């Protein structure tokens, strides 16, 4: 799934509300949330409690440039993941 916010609604808390809704569902179902964060999305995910666990570089075949994305995880207590890395 991709998460994005319309330009007219950025910086108003819409994405944070969507993530917090998902976190509440994850708590009830006792599941871990994972994602790959773009550089633009990383501050938001960090703010709502996701923890960085790895970095990946995405490169289109035939193109010299690559984009770094961060693998992130959230559990009811994401701090526990840092101890296991």
DSSP H or E segment with residue 19: helix 14-29
In a domain, 68, yes or no: yes
In a domain, 63, yes or no: yes
In a domain, 80, yes or no: yes
In a domain, 60, yes or no: yes
Give the pLDDT of the chain (85 residues) as one tens digit per residue: 677 788 888 889 888 898 999 999 999 998 999 999 998 899 999 999 999 999 998 888 888 888 899 999 999 875 555 555 4
In a domain, 35, yes or no: yes
This prediction's pTM: 0.76
In a domain, 59, yes or no: yes
In a domain, 9, yes or no: no
CA angle at 70 for the pair 29 and 17, rounded to the nearest 5° = 45
Q: How many independent structural domains does the chain possess?
A: 1
Annotate 33-81 with DSSP letters as a single string: EEEEE-TTTHHHHHHTT-EEEEEEEEE-TT-S-EEEEEEEEE-TTTHHH
In a domain, 40, yes or no: yes
């Amino acid at each position: 799934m991709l998460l994005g916010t319309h330009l007219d609604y950025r910086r108003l808390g819409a994405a944070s509300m969507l993530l917090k809704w998902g976190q509440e569902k994850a708590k009830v179902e006792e599941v871990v949330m994972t994602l790959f964060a773009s550089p633009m999305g990383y501050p938001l995910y960090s703010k709502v409690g996701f923890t960085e666990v790895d970095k990946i570089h995405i490169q289109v075949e035939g193109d010299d440039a690559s984009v770094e994305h961060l693998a992130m995880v959230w559990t009811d207590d994401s701090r526990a993941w840092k101890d296991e890395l």
